[in-house]
Structure formats: C-alpha cells, structure tokens
Structure 1
Amino acid sequence: MAVRTDPGQIRTGSVVLRNARILDVESGELGAPRTVVARDGRIAEISESTRTVQDAVEIDLGGLTVLPGLIDAHAHVTQASGDFNEILSWTPSYHAARTARVMHGMLLRGFTLVRDMGGADTGLSRAVEERLVTGPRLKAGGPIFAPTGGHVLAKVCDGEVELRRALRAEFRDGADHAKLTLSGGVVSKMRLEALGFSDAEVVAAVDEARLAHRYIAAHVYTAEAVSRALRLGVRTIEHGNLLDDECIELFLAKGAFYVPTLATYWAILSGASGHGLDPAKKAAVEDIFERGLESLAKAAAAGVRIGYGTDLHGAGLDHQLEEFRLRARVQAPLEVLRSATLVGAEIVGESGRAGVVAEGGYADLIAVDGDPLADIGVLADGRSLRFILTDGDPVRIA
C-alpha cells in the first residue's frame, strides 16, 4: 500500500475499508470487524458485507481500531512559529506556505477538523474544500479581538461601535465564530488577573454574533473572568485554568463549553515549544498548569461539556496529541476521546456529521493499532496511528 498525501487530487469512485473494528465513542464499545464504504465524502454504508463495490479502492485494515477523525477545538494554524515577532515579519505568501505545512501536519496526526482560535480566515477553509491544500476541515474565526493594552497578535477594537463594525465584517466574510480576550494570558504583557473589554462591549459582541447566527469564544483564565464571560453570554471558554464553584454552576446553567489547553503549558515547561523562561515565569506556568488539571477534574466531575484543545505554536505543534496523555491524568480515556470527537463536533455545529463513524456522517476517520480505552498512549503516541481517511480520501496508510 502507498501513502497519498498530495493535495489537489480529485476523488474518483468509492473507498471500501475491510475488517474495520469501530470504536463507538458514545458507548465505549469496540465492535466486530465491519466493512465501511465511503462515497462522495460521506460514509455511505457500514455493514458485514463482503461484496465487491464497483470502481472502489479497497483497503484491508486488518482489525485495526477505527475512530472518528479527531477534532482540535483550539488550534492556531497560522502560528507556525512560537516567536510572534517573527510571524509579523513574514510576507503573506510565505505565511500562507508555512500555514499549509502546519495544516498538513495536523491532518497527519489524525485531526480531520480543527477550530482555529485566532489568525485563520475563511480563505484557508476554502483552500481545503477545493483541495488546494491538504489539511483538516477548518472552522475559521478570523483575528483575535482585544482592547487597547490587551492580548498579543490581536485586532484592537475599542468601544461598542468599533467592535460591532469589525465583527460584522468578519461574519460577513464567513467567520464561524469570534474570539475576544477577556483577561490577560501566560505569554501576554497584560496581567493575568486583568479583565479585557467592558461589559457593554462584550454584550455588544455577543449580540452581533447572535444576529449572524454565530457565537463568541473568550480567552480567560481567572474565575472572575470566566464567570463574567459566562454571565454576559459567551458560548465557549478557552483555557479557564482557575475555575471555582460559581464557574461550574454557570457552565451548567448556560449550557456553555469549556476548552482547556493543557498541552501549551506542557510544551512551554518541557522545552518543546522553544520558549525560554526565567525562573519566576516558569514557576507561574507550572502553577497555571497544575491548577488547570484541577479545574479540568472539577469540571469533568460536574458534567460540564469539555472540548479538546491544544493552543500550540511553532515547534510545539508536533505535540498536538500530548493533550490526550495530559487529560488522562484526571479523566477516563473515554471522556477524553469524547472531548476530541462528539463534544468537538457539537462546539462547531457539526453533530452527527463530524466526531462519529456513522452512515451519513463525514468520511473522516482514523485507524489505530490498539485499544485507546485500555491505553491512552495509543492516541497520544502518533506511531500507533496507521490510517487516516479525510473527506473520503486516504491520506495515510502505514
């Protein structure tokens, strides 16, 4: 069998996968070997049939465990470097080329859908759809929005009118969501406990998203910032490492989503991201990481809907799967897997199409050697990934 990873090829016929053992991410049950037929980018049939399908490419998976394609609900496909000043120095064409490589790498790690949380526009989504770029389906939100003095690499908007105008332009151009920085950050000059945007500005942003049938996500860390964002109508909370009981109650009352990003702190602390830290900064990141694990455990125990996010940049992108191992410290493997499939699909409005292996769903799936419910390392270790199907096309057969 050959590896096909080149972009721009036109799909012909169908793909038939034999001896596929499908792991139901809802029930946690691993099924007997089945035949999966993909046609026109969708799963057309799942059965025990062994009949020949005309004009189809047949692949015998040999009993590998088949899962839905993974969903990273907090990614930055345009941040190919961890040095933000370097990114700002790139020409648009060079930046696009680096972004294409990042997206290709994400797909080869098994991520068939990503939600970009700052930097990507819908041109990249279109490039994937038209097969100009080989990468995951992309939900783009345009730039990050911040007030003067706010977080890094952001579009600065001050006042309700200015913010509404900017959001209207992004939603007109097809943005799936918009992210506001409502607190400081780990790599920001803005103090972690500082709050971004006024209440009136946040309410205006939520209103614009509602009018466009879109939603607002918020970059927040402290319990104060999380609670405020939820009370003002934000739908997804990004990071949120310092949750308290009030935050949990608001998540449940509002039906909001929580997207922790533990991998980004792990990458900083391990040196995988390439960030150099002085002792004081390293201690602060260690505290944020440990308290993030505590908040994740608290939210999971309460039944908060939790998405899988990584927030990686530059060299750290190679460790996108590490989030599985980190979350497994406080969650059962099936819970983590649901975050990266079912909940991710719900966050991006693709329930029933993405995040499942089901007839009528997207023909986006992966096959791994082993049982990830018995050993989360099967997912965290990319070497166990044997096969990827995206939009009905094989992109990796190993």
Structure 2
Amino acid sequence: MTDFIICNAKLLDVAAGELRGGASIRVEAGKVMEVAEDGRALSAGEGVTVIDAGGRTLMPGLIDAHVHAAITTMDLAAMGRRQTSWIAIETKFVLEGMLRRGFTTVRDAGGMDPGITNALDRGLVKGPRVFRSGRVISQTGGHGDSSGVSQHPQLCACDIKSSAFSHVADGVDAVRKAVREELKAGAHQIKVMAGGGVATPSDPIDMVQYTEAEIRAAVEEAQARRTYAFAHAYIPEAIERAVRAGVRSIEHGNLIDEASAKFMAQQGCYLVPTLVTYDQIAEFGKKLRFPEESLKKLDAVFGAGLGALEIAKRAGVKMGFGTDLLGETHPAQSKEFVLRAQVLPAAEIIASATLVNAELLGQAGKLGVLAPGAHADLLLVDGDPLADIGVLNGQGERIDLIARGGEIVVNRL
C-alpha cells in the first residue's frame, strides 16, 4: 500500500451522473481520506506520492457481480477432467485480467474454492477483491447437475452429490446441510439454482427448480450467518418463487415480464443481467466446443436480454452489473458496457457497476464510491465514460491508473 494524492482530475460523480473538473483525492492506508473539488489543493506529507491526472477522469473501481473465474474453458467436458492445480493457475490469470480491465471487486457466482481467495489475501494473486459463493446449490436435474442419466440410479433421500462446482441436494434438510457446508468453508454468500439454464443439458430454460420451501431454507441459513442467498432464474414463475423465498438478487432474468419485474421492485430484489455471455456463446460457442445441447437452448434467451433491461427499468428494479463469462471468453468482460448502452444511458450503466453493486454486496459506502472512509479502489480513465462508455471497453487500454485497496497495480502516467 502506498499513500498518494491524485490531483488535476475530473471527478465522475456516479450518483449525480456528472463529471466535474479540478478534483483531487488523498489516499492513506488503503482508504480514501479526502476528496477536494474546484481546484482546491490537498497537502501532501513527507514521502507521499503526488500524481498529476492530467485532466483524466477519476472514478471508482468497477464491480462485476457475476463472474465464474474458475471456469476456465467453454469445453465443459474438458473442464471436468482438469486437475485442481491446473484450474487454480488458470484462475490466477483470469482474475488478473479482470483487474487490468478496471474491475477491482467481483462476486464469484460459483466454482471458486477457498484456496484462490487465500492466495488473493496473501498477495500471491494480483486480482480483484473477491466475494466468493463457493459451490452452487442445485436440485437433481437442475442447472448445477452435470451428471449423466444413470440406467440404474441409486436413490437415497438424504444423499447429496458434490462436485467442484455444485452440491446437488434435494429437500429442505439436504439444502440446509449443503448451504451450511459452504458457509462453514467461508462462502461470502450462497447461490441457488431456481430455474433452467443454458450450460447444463438436462434442464429446459422454462423449468422451475426447487420449491419455495427449499429456496427459503437456503435464504434462512445464509441470513443466520448475516449474509444472503441469490438465485439463477430466467422465467417469471421461477423469478417470483425465488423472490417470495427471500433471495437478494435474481441473476440473468432474460424472460422477465412486467408482473414479475413489479414484484421484484416491491420486494427490493435486485436484478443482475448478463448480456455479454450470450453474445460470446453465440459467436464462439461452437468453435470452443460448448455443449451442442446448450447451444440449442441459447435462442430462448439471447434475443430477450435488451428487452428485459427495459422492462426492469420501467418497473423500478435496481439493476446490478454482471457478465457470467466462461473460459476463453473472459476477455470480453467490458463489452457488457457497450451492449447495455443500446437501451440504457451511460450514467445508469456505470452506476450499476459501482453504487448499485456495492449495495447488492452489502458494501455501500465502502465500495463503488470515492468518499472518505471508502476503500481506495479507483481508476484514472483517458476519456469521458458518460459521453463514450466505450472507453471502458477492451482490456483496459484507456485506463491509465488502477488502484485496489490503495495499492497501485497499473500506472501508465
């Protein structure tokens, strides 16, 4: 960690959606200590580095609330054969790429083991701050069950089948046990599969998964640990069931309708759309050996994503920012900004990746904002993201400085 002052910047006020010149910021011990505007100078003590922003945009570090950094290839059959050590090394490079794109915090939406977060905490991996979900919770035949169909299944009501990615647990008691196991292992929050999905072969998109009681069991166990559960769902019936059970956010939600969006808004449930993953699967899925059965299901959700954003906005649903990319497509992470810009203003998209996601993660005032007491996660951007959100696209080429927790990890000045 380095104490430093950045001066001569244009401050992006995310809440107001405004860019204001003559700004400076002082960082000490990894936290924001002071923010000044109107050209007011900040005093620098002995040994404090002063960085001239040269009129660049100063803004909070970005937050991606739906990543799968530990899913390192779209060839899911090959993924199942990779050794844990191999996956861990690949995950390191995936996370470091995310940080270089300006994402100083991410929420793992399933698959990351505690060893990765331990390595991050010890500085062995120079990646973003991670809120880890661990294994997802899925029913038999649900969107976390990748096992084949057995001709002679050995069925036991108390059985839980576990893989590196999921616990397949049926019934309230089994769900409770699976959730408790992940929380015991240090999961920051819990993900439940509440409906059909694209990547697994045996669950149609329009399938409703888990009873309300099963989802509520996961919610209750997470709340007992002072955290929350969130749910994968596409269709209105699955969305409403999960919201009634008390989940904090719905992931994807491409097939949401006006009624389910209104219900989400009434209950204060967030939506985390993930447009870019369908864009990338459509473009590269066949070449990268994404399962053929999954490619057939893509059409059901691909074209509905932009419309879902419009429906959610009209209903007043708080929308976070997520990407859900897999394997070789992780570098497309920042394309989510330009895809959303087809229907949403830049200020709202940036807020989703900062203020809204910070609230979703229970980190309001600590992340997603440049204010005294917040973590010093910040970017200096060459350009105005409000006028051209494309400056955030790519691999961070227009981001000339990145600090995460007061540590400057990229500095092109």
Which TM-score band applies after superposition, normalised by the shorter structure?
Answer: over 0.9
Q: How far 1:292 moved relative to its partner?
A: 1.5
Partner of 1:396: 410
Query: What SS does structure 2 have at the residue aligned with 1:387?
Result: strand
Q: Which of the numbers 179, 189, 198 marks the counterpart of 1:177?
A: 189
| Matches of 2:237 and 2:132, distance apart in 1 | 28
Structure 1 equivalent of residue 377 of structure 2: 364
Identify unmatched segments of 5+ residues in structure 1. 1-10
Please report the TM-score for the alignment, with normalisation by the length of structure 2. 0.89
Q: Which moves more between the two structures, 215-224 or 256-265?
A: 215-224
Match of residue 248, structure 2, among 208, 222, 235 = 235
Code of the aligned partner of 1:250: F
Residue by residue over 1:237-282, the C-alpha shift from the partner in whole angstroms, topping out at 9 and shown as x without a partner, is: 0011001122112111110010011010011122279545799976
- Quick one: which amino acid aligns to residue 95 of structure 1? I
Is 1:21 the counterpart of 2:13? The answer is no
Task: Name the residue aligned to 2:30.
Answer: 41
Instruction: Report whether the alignment pairs 1:192 with 2:181.
Output: no
- 1:163 aligned to 2:175? yes
Instruction: Give CA-to-partner distance per residue, 1:200-252, whole Å, 9 cap, x none.
Output: 21121122112121111111111111111111211110011001122112111
CA gap of 1:279–1:148, structure 2 versus 1, over 3 A, is closer
2-structure distance, mates of 1:86, 1:280: 16
Offset of residue 124 of structure 1? 2.6
Instruction: After superposing the two structures, state which structure 1 stretch, 285-294 or 70-79, moved more.
Output: 285-294
Give 2:388's aligned residue: 375
Distance in structure 1 (CA, Å) of the matches to 2:63 and 2:349 = 11
Please say if residues 268 and 274 of structure 1, whose CA atoms lie closer than 8 Å, have aligned partners that are also in contact. Answer: no
1:343 is paired with a residue whose SS is: helix
Q: Report whether the alignment pairs 1:80 with 2:72.
A: yes
1:386 match? 400
CA–CA distance in structure 2, aligned partners of residues 395 and 107 of structure 1:
8
Map 1:1-398 → 2, pairs under 5 A: 11=1, 13-47=2-36, 48-49=40-41, 51-152=43-144, 153-189=165-201, 190-271=203-284, 274-275=287-288, 284-381=297-394, 382-398=396-412
Q: 2: CA distance between counterparts of 1:222 and 1:157? A: 22
Equivalent position amino acid for 1:45 in 2: E
Question: What's the Cα RMSD here?
Answer: 1.9
* Change in 2 beyond 3 A, CA 1:272/1:217: same
Q: What TM-score results when the alignment is normalised by the length of structure 1?
A: 0.92
Q: Structure 2: which 5+ runs fail to align?
A: 145-164
Distance between the aligned counterparts of 1:299 and 1:175, measured in 2? 29
Give the SS at the match of 1:306: coil
- Alignment-mate amino acid for residue 26 of structure 1: A
Deviations 1:47-75 (A, max 9, x none): 32254331123322211001110000001
| Residue deviations 1:138-172 (CA, integer Å, cap 9, x gap) | 00011111111112442211221111112112212
- Whether contact under 8 Å (1:15, 1:393) holds in the other structure is no
Distance in 1 (alpha carbons) for counterparts of 2:294 and 2:123: 42
Conserved? CA contact 1:274–1:315, under 8 Å = no
1:287 positional shift: 4.5
Task: Give the C-alpha shift of residue 343 in structure 1.
Answer: 0.5
Percent sequence identity over matched residues? 40
Tell me how far apart the structure 2 counterparts of residues 17 and 317 of structure 1 sit (CA, whole Å).
31
Residues of 1 paired with 2:291 and 2:302: CA distance? 16
Do the aligned partners of 1:124 and 1:138 also contact (CA within 8 Å) in 2? no
The number of residues matched between the two structures is: 387
Q: CA deviation at 1:191?
A: 0.9
Give the distance between the partners of 2:222 and 2:52, measured in 1 at CA. Answer: 45
Q: Distance in 2 between matches of 1:60 and 1:197?
A: 54
1:290 and 1:125 map into 2 onto residues whose CA distance is: 35
**2:289, 2:346 → 1: CA distance?**
32
